[in-house]
Structure 1
Amino acid sequence: MVKIWNENNGAAAALVVRPEEAEHVALPHGGGFRLLSDAVDTGGALGANRLTLGEGADGARPHYHALSTELFYVLDGAVEFLVGDTMASVGQGSLVVVPPKVPHAFGAAAGCTADLLAVLTPGVDRFEYFRALGRIQHGLDPFGSLLPEQDRYDVHFLDPTTWQSLRTP
């Protein structure tokens, strides 16, 4: 990771993250997170990660962000999104933007893998959140370990029943 300082005032920096520099958090379905930038890296402007999902794998259970907007760009594959009460299936080249306080969930469509760029703005330091998700997915930590951290990571979990009932079998 390289920060390139603005020569004019020295205050603002551009961020360059090469693929080999991004930490990879493996997920058991063959996918994983590539941790690209945390809020600390961008002066709080945004956080970004790349998420690959195995066939039909869930990406995130229902949740909302109280403070941040989340942007998803589908690099490859097909993704099912639950946004509010609406289910949408999107493919490569699609953009989904979820404003603060809007419940959402997503996962790779049945029989498909997915590759997504996710950006959260304003940024929240969430790299440790993604590491925790990796441990949970591998059965090393219980999901309940994240519940006390919802405010810290601006991820507020909701009842998964509707999401689970709408997912393509």
Structure 2
Amino acid sequence: MTANAGRTADALIVRAEEAESVPLPHGGGFRLLADAGATGGALGANRLVLKGGADGARPHYHALSSEMFYVLDGAVDFFLDGGMATVGRGGLVVVPPGMPHAFGAAHGGDADLIAVLTPGIERFGYFRALGRIQHGQDSFDSLLPEQDRYDVHFLDAADWQSARAGRTRTG
């Protein structure tokens, strides 16, 4: 047995065609790459494509995990602890536990990003629920009892919505 043989059995490989797709009604969607159970709790990862101006997540925080975003293409508006930042292709954002945040594709173009939550929380069910909510098959209120389970604690969206509306008006 070679030195790499033992580690190969523990490696997680997810080929593009194997990743579960959760489409969103605006034409974008999630690609579920790795859930916590598949990584021994180390992390959870997904890819998200958003059409121009589409929200990715309303304001929330994670009590237990940090979340990392890497922008593969386009630009993403991030609402971070009450402030706004736009991050373009090749940019990285790391949100520590407890920090309120939200994000969405900047107006004027689509966005493609990778999100990694560490330590991992089993969250594929959360993304599936978001897909159902976006398609009108379930209500947002159905997620409220699941906030601890998914470590997604929702906050008031008024400041985020106001900041996004201001970016639309100013370009």
TM above 0.5, yes or no, is yes
1:134 and 2:131 correspond: yes
The alpha-carbon deviation at position 8 of structure 1 amounts to 4.6
* TM-score for the superposition, normalised by structure 1: 0.93
The alpha-carbon deviation at position 131 of structure 1 amounts to 0.2
- RMSD after superposition: 1.3
Greater strand proportion = 1
* Runs (4+) off by over 2 Å: 6-10
Matched position secondary structure for 2:69: strand
1:53 maps to amino acid: L
Give 1:27's match in structure 2, choosing from 19, 24, 27. 24
* TM-score for the superposition, normalised by structure 2: 0.92
2:97 maps to amino acid: P
2:125 maps to amino acid: E
1:150 and 2:147 correspond: yes
**Structure 2 unmatched runs, 5+:** none
Greater helix proportion = 2
Q: Across the two proteins, how many residue pairs are aligned to each other?
A: 163
1:65 corresponds to which residue? Answer: 62
2:96 corresponds to which residue? Answer: 99
Q: Distance in 2 between matches of 1:26 and 1:18?
A: 18
Identity %: 73
**Structure 1 unmatched runs, 5+:** 1-5
Matched position secondary structure for 1:79: strand
User: Kindly tell me: are residues 44 and 143 of structure 1, through their superposed partners in 2, closer, same or farther at Cα, counting changes over 3 Å?
Assistant: same
